[in-house]
Amino acid sequence: MRQPMEGTKLMGLLLAGLWVLGVMAAGAVEVSAAAPVTLYTSESLDKVNEMKLDFEKRNPGVTLNIYRSGTQVVISKLQAEFQAGGTLADMIWMADIDYFEDLVRKDLLAAYTPPEADKAPAKFKYEGGRYHEVRLIFNTVAYNTLRVKTRPSSWKDLTDPQFKGKVGVASPFYSGAAFSTLGTQVNMPGFGWDFYRKLKGNAVIVEQSNGTVAKKLATGEFSVVSVVDFMVREAKAAGSPVDHIWPKEGAILVPTPVGILKGAKNPEGARAFLRYLYSTEGQRLFVQQGYVPVLPGIEGPKGVPAEKLEVVLTDQAYIGKHREELKAKYRELFELK
Amino acid sequence: MPIFRLLLGLPLGLVLVGAVAYPSLILVWHAFARDGRPTLANLAAVLHDADIWRVLWNSVHVSVWATLLGGAIGTGLAFLVARTDLPGQRIFRTALMLPYLIPPFIAALAWLALAGPVGFVNQLWMAVTGVEEPLFRIYGAPGIILVMALAHYPLAYFTVLASLERMDPALEEAARSSGASPARTARDVTLPLVAPAIGAGAILVFLRCMENFGIPAILGFPAKYFVLTTKIYATILDFDRAHNLGLAATLSLLLVAVAAAILALQRRILGGRAYGLTRAVGQPPIFSLGEWRRTVGIGVTVFLLVTSVAPLLAILLTALTRAYGMPFGWSNLGLQNFHTLFFKVPVVWRAMGNSLVLAASAATFAVVLAILIAYVQVRTRARGKGLLEALVILPFAVPGTVVALAMILAFLRPVLGLSLYNTIWIILVAYVARFLTLAVKPVAAAFTQVHVSLEEAARSSGASLSRSVRDITMPLIRSALVSGWFLAAVPAITELTLSVLLWSAGNETIGVMVFNMHEEGKVLLSSALAVVVMAVALTSNLLLRRLTSGLAEA
């Protein structure tokens, strides 16, 4: 190295190369200039992506980015980010209403009620519009039509000995829907923890997610299950040998609200997405996807009785207060880790 | 000189400190600290947790069995291919590469489609026998061991095969001409000579099994069967648990300690046992299979069909299924899952783009850094070369889950005003750190081969430094740069372990998409995407092989 300048040149070239590459990578990755709307959700991945496509088509210039995982994983990520000084999420949408309550107490949710939302039943607008139920999901009893000869009629059919070892439920530690169901059933007359002990006696299998439960019902691994309604209708529509009932005690409403976070990077975009979810187009897409719409006047999906649905509303105050106790008891009963 | 050194050292130092040393130290700090104060509380909590001991036992249990099984398969096949008159050698040599080219988590999904509770084998079994119970359960330890062994036996196979082919045939010929039977020659001469290679292959298999995340995640979660990597993953995501990241860091150190102990054991056993293996001149004696020749040939063919072809066919058929749970038949097959994937789930395209851009950028950074590192290692007498080498190897030597956790801990909060968490950059940094050593190997080897006297000759003939680099050094190392680039890029394309913990909205990778769809229970969609990933993995690997085929040992 008698000529340091030469070396300098070479290294300069290398550094320039590095820089150009970096810019190229950044350019390739970040296509749109405007801040995207970021949604953290436990919604079904393909369904929420279908919504994204439709929403972006109707709102040119707005990009919706989605972080999708199980409710507990999404909450963990949010918690980690709050602790580290701020989250990327503009809005959240998942099956754990309790967590929304927690965010309200911490004053982290921004109130916004789209005009259309006032047509929906008032009970689905929570905390003065800080979060909303945009379509309705119910936990019901479903069965495999190839394996079960007599159509079940009640939640108690899950404890019928003829299905021993062939009964599946989702884990309340992973699925918000399963947790709402647990918190509701322990207070239903004639049910309580006794019902869960009987389930255990019937060798119930606790799966992580509702998706897995629905899948294993379709394949016949399970004969009867407790699962969210739309997944069963979806599988049935695709041709799988499954159907769900409306239990005579009532299907259990599973709150899966949407809310906008204070400090959202694109609050206007987030409000536009909430407006879209409440719009006629949004509600119709929900119906297409198999959900029960929240707006009156929109025709529901096939296989859902139009009126007089027996519905058990979840008692959020109870669930919120007894969260840890419910989980601990369940963990102990089913010897889960 | 000082400017030159600075320019050489600055990017290197920046990357190695920022992407390796700093995250490693942060990881260790978090394992031994709570709320910013040093403490042994995490260690105590981990060591007092019976659950952790069981998880540790699970890790060792599945890895040991998978190593025994995979080691035996790989060694046996290497012997058959290199030392017998097995028919169809050429085809087998290529076919035995196949499991090596499929990412392990994809292999697990394929096995699920073949032999899962409602996989084709069990469906057939239940249809034929009328029994309601499946033939076997793939969830839990037995399934994990089986798939790990089949995913990793090529490592043992390659190692033993290389050793057999490099062995001096004169040794075996001497035994034969002194009257030893082929069997006796194999037992008393060949086997002892390749024993170190068998051991080395087994260690490789063991380490890969210990650090694997995809297989135990896919086959272990449904049975609530955890190993260390999946336990660390679950602990990172369990924010309800106090100090979860600190506990995960402690678990990571435990996992690294086990891997290090195994490596130390290997050094001890194999140290000083490297026999004089030279490149083979002439043909080694061939053990004739005699009348068993056909039977063994058929046996190997069936083995390959069952272990490599059947799972891939099963997942392809699953991907083509219209309605899940309906009896198998032509009317139930169609391309609708691929249609949904490509036209209704736009994130799939972005994930694919992200994976390709990440792999290409990480490989490019890695090659540029590899040139600097190889230069320092081969051409300078800089102090701290040992440390440099250690920092390059470290992120590849430790399990990917540990690297991901170190990145999270290091970059969750902005560092020096730079916010990496929740961006694609954190994945890129992790990839560069992880795959750097793969690019360094061929480049350093090429630098060693280009003798410095060649450059000096050019310089003394009046060429400038840049000219001598351009006309002498570059042409000689160009092919090494290309193979280094591909060696780093190919595993990054289908990467899962790091990105599953580091992805964020808009920054998903293709591996994460498959895993998330599977987790959500979207069997048909995840199978369809897995088939796409498989196609990408096979194509890129074939490309890699074609480009590096001229390079020995690349």
* B299 Cβ under 8 Å from any chain A Cβ: no
Domain identity same for A149 and A197: yes
Q: What distance in Å separates residue A119's CA from the closest CA in chain B?
A: 30
Question: pLDDT (tens digit, 9 = 90+) per residue, A140-182?
Answer: 999 999 999 899 999 999 999 999 999 999 988 878 889 889 9
* B9 Cβ under 8 Å from any chain A Cβ: no
ipTM, interface predicted TM-score of the complex = 0.81
| Residues in chain A closer than 8 A to B222 (CB atoms) | 207-208, 212
Domain extent, residue A271, equals 37-134+257-305
Question: pLDDT (tens digit, 9 = 90+) per residue, B235-250?
Answer: 998 877 788 899 999 9
B327 in any annotated domain: no
| Residues in chain A closer than 8 A to B322 (CB atoms) | 238-239
Domain identity same for B388 and B526: yes
Question: Cβ distance A222 to A146 under 8 Å?
Answer: no
B323 in any annotated domain: no
Domain identity same for A203 and A69: no
| Mean pLDDT of all residues in B33-49 | 89
| Burial class of residue B203, CB neighbours in 10 A (0-12, 13-18, 19+) | buried
The answer for residues whose C-beta is within 8 angstroms of residue B65's C-beta and 6 or more apart is B141, B145, B149
Alpha helices in B167-276 (DSSP H): 169-177, 182-185, 191-211, 214-220, 228-236, 244-270
Write down the pTM of the prediction: 0.85
Domain identity same for A130 and A211: no
Range picked from B61-70, B333-342, B481-490 for highest mean pLDDT = B61-70
B361 in any annotated domain: yes
Domain extent, residue B392, equals 1-39+332-554
Q: Of B324, B424, B506, which is closest to A215 when you measure between CB atoms?
A: B324
Percent of chain A with pLDDT over 90: 51
Indicate whether A2 pLDDT > 60.
Answer: no
* B504 Cβ under 8 Å from any chain A Cβ: yes
Quote the CA–CA distance of A58 and B191 in Å, as a whole number.
Answer: 71
Domain identity same for A330 and A219: yes
Domain identity same for B145 and B285: yes
Quote the CA–CA distance of B494 and B497 in Å, as a whole number.
Answer: 10
| Residues in chain A closer than 8 A to B245 (CB atoms) | 80
Q: What distance in Å separates residue B516's CA from the closest CA in chain A?
A: 7
**How many C-alpha atoms does B218 have within 13 Å on its Cβ side?**
35
Domain identity same for B205 and B313: yes
Pairwise CB contact (< 8 Å): B506 & A75: no
Higher pLDDT, A271 or B412: A271
Q: Which residue's entry shows tokens 């995913």?
A: B151
The pair of structure tokens assigned to B59 is 């890790």
Q: What distance in Å separates residue A204's CA from the closest CA in chain B?
A: 14
Domain identity same for A325 and A223: yes
A238 in any annotated domain: yes
Q: What distance in Å separates residue B148's CA from the closest CA in chain A?
A: 23
**How many C-alpha atoms does B3 have within 13 Å on its Cβ side?**
12
Q: Which residue's entry shows tokens 């004639």?
A: A190
Percent of chain A with pLDDT over 70: 88
Higher pLDDT, A315 or A225: A225
* B224 Cβ under 8 Å from any chain A Cβ: yes
Pairwise CB contact (< 8 Å): A18 & B365: yes
* B326 Cβ under 8 Å from any chain A Cβ: yes
Q: What distance in Å separates residue A308's CA from the closest CA in chain B?
A: 31
| Burial class of residue A56, CB neighbours in 10 A (0-12, 13-18, 19+) | middle
Percent of chain B with pLDDT over 90: 44
Q: What distance in Å separates residue A251's CA from the closest CA in chain B?
A: 23
* Amino acid, res. B133: E
Pairwise CB contact (< 8 Å): B412 & A80: yes
* pLDDT grade for B554, boundaries at 50, 70 and 90: very low
* pLDDT grade for A1, boundaries at 50, 70 and 90: very low
Phi and psi (nearest 5°) for A144? -90, 120
Q: Which pLDDT score, from 0 to 100, does residue A186 have?
A: 92
Pairwise CB contact (< 8 Å): B357 & A68: no
* pLDDT grade for A239, boundaries at 50, 70 and 90: confident
Pairwise CB contact (< 8 Å): B368 & A12: no
Cβ under 8 Å to A: B residues 58-97:
none
* B303 Cβ under 8 Å from any chain A Cβ: no
Pairwise CB contact (< 8 Å): B117 & A216: yes
Number of structural domains, chain A?
Answer: 2
| Chain A CA closest to residue B236 | A76
Quote the CA–CA distance of B145 and B219 in Å, as a whole number.
Answer: 10
A9 in any annotated domain: no
The pair of structure tokens assigned to B140 is 């839990």
The pair of structure tokens assigned to A52 is 């994204």
H/E segment holding residue B456: helix B452-460
* pLDDT grade for B2, boundaries at 50, 70 and 90: low
Q: Which pLDDT score, from 0 to 100, does residue A20 have?
A: 57
| Mean pLDDT of all residues in B277-290 | 66
B326 in any annotated domain: no
Indicate whether B15 pLDDT > 50.
Answer: yes
Tell me the CA distances in angstroms from B516 to A31, A173, A279, B348, B530, one per residue in order.
24, 18, 29, 12, 12
Domain identity same for A144 and A212: yes
Domain identity same for A160 and A88: no
For chain B, the distance separating the N- and C-terminal CA atoms, rounded to the nearest angstrom, is 33
Domain identity same for A102 and A233: no
Q: Which pLDDT score, from 0 to 100, does residue A4 have?
A: 45
Q: Of B323, B346, B517, which is closest to A52 when you measure between CB atoms?
A: B346
Q: Give the domain CATH number at B363.
A: 1.10.3720.10
Indicate whether A91 pLDDT > 60.
Answer: yes
Q: Give the domain CATH number at A238.
A: 3.40.190.10
Number of structural domains, chain B?
Answer: 2
B324 in any annotated domain: no
A249 in any annotated domain: yes
Helix, strand counts (H, E) of chain B: 28, 2
Pairwise CB contact (< 8 Å): A239 & B347: no
The separation between CA B457 and the C-alpha centre of its own chain, rounded to angstroms, equals 42
Q: Which pLDDT score, from 0 to 100, does residue A32 have?
A: 45
Domain identity same for A179 and A320: yes
Q: Which pLDDT score, from 0 to 100, does residue B183 have?
A: 81
Quote the CA–CA distance of A140 and A162 in Å, as a whole number.
Answer: 19
| Mean pLDDT of all residues in B486-498 | 92
Indicate whether A41 pLDDT > 80.
Answer: yes
Q: Of A21, A45, A242, which is closest to B517 when you measure between CB atoms?
A: A45
Question: pLDDT (tens digit, 9 = 90+) per residue, B319-345?
Answer: 998 877 777 777 788 899 999 899 888
Domain identity same for B462 and B553: yes
The pair of structure tokens assigned to A278 is 């409440």
* pLDDT grade for A305, boundaries at 50, 70 and 90: low
Question: pLDDT (tens digit, 9 = 90+) per residue, B405-417?
Answer: 999 999 988 888 7
From A85-99, A147-161, B48-62, B124-138, the region with the lowest mean pLDDT: B124-138
| Mean pLDDT of all residues in A197-214 | 90
* B331 Cβ under 8 Å from any chain A Cβ: no
Q: How many residues does chain A have?
A: 337
A1 in any annotated domain: no
Sign of the torsion angle spanned by Cα atoms B541, B545, B546, B548: positive
Question: Cβ distance A298 to A287 under 8 Å?
Answer: yes
| Mean pLDDT of all residues in A94-109 | 90
